[in-house]
Structure 1
């Protein structure tokens, strides 16, 4: 009889997690001796939690608190001991004698950076260990599906990687200057993406790290905007794109994408009632669609920021780092559970908005968040204040585009501007705002088209 592949009772025991107490003492001792060592350590370490021993976390917190408090800080064993006494933590660290011992434990003064790197390395190893143990526990308890466990594990590992390779970042003007000159000579930011609408490109760029929020009322075209934009990036520009959809399932997304690319009535595709002429158009679009391995449509249920982050990480791991992320739509994202029951819906949406902005900055990609208007925006030109559930969207967004269809008084698409939709650039942090771009609204083909030829 073959032996089992997995025996839960032989899991590794809770042995001490990776740590180096001597390096921790050396970092703190260096910081107590030299103010320059505090600057260096803070650039390398992410915070007190990088220290394994609790009393070292407390001492680090006291040192940095003193350092930031005054223009000419006095940080030494005596002042830090006084700070610890004032906060009620002196006995927790072993008294003033232990604080003085930290300075004596430094092997070589002037090597604070090396000691801090050792501490940070062990902190990351502990984070990886914690992430893998959590994943193992989820597997053994079968509390979630395999895909959910995998996404959670990837999110945990992404969090463990936070702060990697930040020491050698080039932040000075001198470091940035030649790259900026290259951009000026090129006539545009080479990292920026364009949209499929030339007249809109004259006003905005989609740059890495930006949150672009596109607002509209129910059925007013925000999903068309998102899919058309992502399709342009992936199918026309050949760059990876991710659409995280809380609004529609994969089959409906495919129907809309096919309608836009092939020029087939979306209703024929959704109801599976294709005519011979439709099939010809579908077959002509087939090569492009069959080779769209870089275009990811994530319609997972109950999408959270953590799951979206894990999906971005997965794309990067498979060599398809997304050039753009479209979230459809912001108010349907599931908030992360943090145990707080008193949060209002406005607070939840504010957290989601800020989370998408941080995600854009973390992965250095433009994030396009589609958002819903309040009911009060129906029948009139929308304003930034019309976003549903939260006003923080305006603060977090680099660019805000408001979509408005000039319909007749009875709500029908008739009158002198039938078949048109306005894109109102209400906020543009790097350019002109208040401009309006009119597009052709081709709802039956699930697409928006430029009216400038």
Structure 2
């Protein structure tokens, strides 16, 4: 028996299929046509045996170096000898043994999938073991251990290389024509405000920043938008709230959906009429499993990313993320000399990269500086950082019109807009900028409403 066939000295051997590993490598040595497919299905680390990782790397390196590669046991053996690895893998005879281990090259893809699946099982075990060790050590917070573990579990589930990556113009052209014919981007999301939809589309990979002064309605905007996506469009949505707890978020959501006074909901002083309204939306809310409200303390970019992976792992990949609000996020790995503007810039860039990584729009709510109070805001009014303007694809500024000046004669006064709020589209990388969309501000119901139309 070859020394590589000796069983491991463990009570329980980690999941692996040595026969499948040998069949994958043997198929690659027999037929160059399967090498591209194997590269797409498995990575070197997917092989349980170190010598199999070495052989796989040697084959793929040799294959990628030449326009007309010659792959067989002799050429791969020469490559391994050049690298000083031939003896470590069992010598030239072991390469011939790999070839002999192939039942049929036609099933190479299935062998690769077996190897990949076993590697995923080992990754699950390793992640669980690390999490258990950290929990026993009690050196980290439980929430942090859970979030890190969820991110690793999801990485194990989706970490395999994609079978096909379509990046060329030729690959993209048919899809683009379909979008043109449909008259819209099928991957874009709308908002609950029809006038805003005429100007802005929420596209995958976009960072959309919504700014307002303290108490200016940005949280209402975020919750209304997320509720529209989750409850009306039936797409999974995540609200990562650093400002409000779950109970307060639920009160705002219920007020907006049931049209019940928010103050009575918060104080738990509902009338019989209020209860009747709540009961009407109860089934809808009970079934809103795809609407995630994450009020975990000290939310960071990695924790939000872990939550997104967790959602994907449960079959509900998020269609949108609302982060409320940007300047309250906890920075990660910040140096002691970094100022707050630098930290916010890192967070802003991280949210943009998150949008691109998960191919969803990320809505970042942000607060204005104090000097923006009492006047129409501009993109330079964001608190702590100007990088927000650079990273954002779309910027919407919220502004409550001032009350009419009592010193001005009534006949010359502007219309009283005390019940309205303006959405100023200050930046729109793929559309019209400078438009002002007025909405009705229904703070007592925790909602914003389009003028002249219910949503």
| Contact persistence 1:324–1:365 (CA under 8 A) | yes
| Contact persistence 1:407–1:415 (CA under 8 A) | no
CA distance in 1, matches of 2:394, 2:374: 24
1:437/1:136 CA distance change after superposition, 3 Å:
same
1:335/1:127 CA distance change after superposition, 3 Å:
farther
RMSD (Å), alpha carbons: 5.0
1:167/1:237 CA distance change after superposition, 3 Å:
closer
Displacement, 1:287? Answer: 4.2
Displacement, 1:388? Answer: 1.4
The equivalent of 1:391 in structure 2 is 386
The equivalent of 1:280 in structure 2 is 273
Secondary structure class of the residue paired with 2:315: coil
The alignment status of 1:260 with 2:256, answered yes or no, reads: yes
CA distance in 1, matches of 2:180, 2:400: 37
Greater Cα shift, 420-429 or 317-326: 317-326
Greater Cα shift, 417-426 or 310-319: 310-319
Aligned pairs for 1:327-366 (under 5 A) are: 327-337=323-333, 340-366=335-361
Equivalent residue in structure 2 for 1:404, among 394, 399, 404: 399
Aligned pairs for 1:302-451 (under 5 A) are: 302-337=298-333, 340-408=335-403, 416=415, 417-451=417-451
1:49/1:211 CA distance change after superposition, 3 Å:
farther
CA distance in 2, matches of 1:221, 1:245: 14
The equivalent of 1:153 in structure 2 is 149
Mark the runs of 5 or more structure 2 residues left unpaired by the alignment.
Answer: 1-9, 29-35, 49-82, 86-98, 100-108, 406-412
Displacement, 1:394? Answer: 1.8
| Contact persistence 1:335–1:348 (CA under 8 A) | yes
CA distance in 1, matches of 2:339, 2:126: 31
The equivalent of 1:132 in structure 2 is 128
Kindly provide the CA deviation profile for residues 219-241 of structure 1, in whole angstroms up to 9, marking residues without a partner as x.
Answer: 00000100111111122222222
| Contact persistence 2:154–2:310 (CA under 8 A) | no
Displacement, 1:131? Answer: 2.9
Q: Which of these two proteins has the greater Rg computed from alpha carbons?
A: 2
| TM-score, scaled relative to structure 1 | 0.72
1:378/1:147 CA distance change after superposition, 3 Å:
same
| Contact persistence 2:224–2:256 (CA under 8 A) | yes
Displacement, 1:117? Answer: 11
Secondary structure class of the residue paired with 1:401: strand
CA distance in 1, matches of 2:220, 2:313: 29
| Contact persistence 1:45–1:120 (CA under 8 A) | yes
Kindly provide the CA deviation profile for residues 199-246 of structure 1, in whole angstroms up to 9, marking residues without a partner as x.
Answer: 000001112222111011110000010011111112222222211111
| Contact persistence 2:212–2:366 (CA under 8 A) | yes
The equivalent of 2:284 in structure 1 is 291
Displacement, 1:123? Answer: 8.7
Secondary structure class of the residue paired with 1:195: coil
Displacement, 1:405? Answer: 1.0
The equivalent of 1:203 in structure 2 is 199
Kindly provide the CA deviation profile for residues 26-55 of structure 1, in whole angstroms up to 9, marking residues without a partner as x.
Answer: x9xx9xxxxxxxx99999999x99999xxx
| TM-score, scaled relative to structure 2 | 0.71
Greater Cα shift, 130-139 or 118-127: 118-127
Displacement, 1:158? Answer: 3.7
| Contact persistence 2:40–2:164 (CA under 8 A) | no
CA distance in 2, matches of 1:361, 1:254: 29
Aligned pairs for 1:215-234 (under 5 A) are: 215-234=211-230
1:318/1:239 CA distance change after superposition, 3 Å:
same
1:354/1:126 CA distance change after superposition, 3 Å:
farther
CA distance in 1, matches of 2:15, 2:371: 55
1:121/1:265 CA distance change after superposition, 3 Å:
closer
1:355/1:257 CA distance change after superposition, 3 Å:
same
CA distance in 1, matches of 2:255, 2:119: 50
Secondary structure class of the residue paired with 1:400: strand
